[in-house]
Amino acid sequence: MAIAITVNGERYETDAPPETPLLWVLRDEFGLTGTKFGCGVAACGACTVHLDGQAVRSCQLPLGEVDGDVTTIEGLAETRYRALQEAWTRHQVAQCGYCQSGQIMQAADLLAETPEPSDEDIDAVMGGNLCRCGTYTGIRAAIHDAARALNGGGAG
């Protein structure tokens, strides 16, 4: 029996077993490869997507437990949080880039909850997203820049 979910505003169906992690359905079945596999145990954040606007680790979320709309990095560009992707580019945050989709998705969740985050807010929320290249200073700067843009202050 097919399972239907909404991803980035589109309805998808899959015959994958309900215990299949959402990550693999997104990547292998739906071709949405912006969401990355990192550790497989929800510790690194590379697989972060939004479920009804909340950041979740898709590597540990069984397909059968997806109850709501999923947004991936591909769908974020169609939202107001595109400002994050633009700030990431302006600040040249990505080096290898592997973790960046998860970083941006986590940052979007942060800005939805805390529109004007302090450095401490950013560190607390983003601390669960690991970056092998150590671009944390750039990530923080890009989040502040995006927050200003989202709040009408323009980009830095």
Count other C-beta atoms under 10 Å from residue 89's C-beta.
11
- The ranges assigned to domains in the chain are 3-76, 82-150
* Tokens matching residue 72: 């991936």
> What CATH number is given for 82-150 in this structure?
1.10.150.120
The tens digit of pLDDT for each residue in 122-138 reads 999 999 999 999 999 99
> How many Å apart are CA 94 and CA 2, to the nearest integer?
37
Length of the chain: 156
The sheet carrying 48-51 orders its strands as 10-14, 3-7, 69-71, 48-51, 54-57
Classify domain 3-76 at the CATH superfamily level.
Answer: Beta-grasp domain (3.10.20.30)
The tens digit of pLDDT for each residue in 88-99 reads 999 999 888 899
Mean pLDDT of 63-79: 95
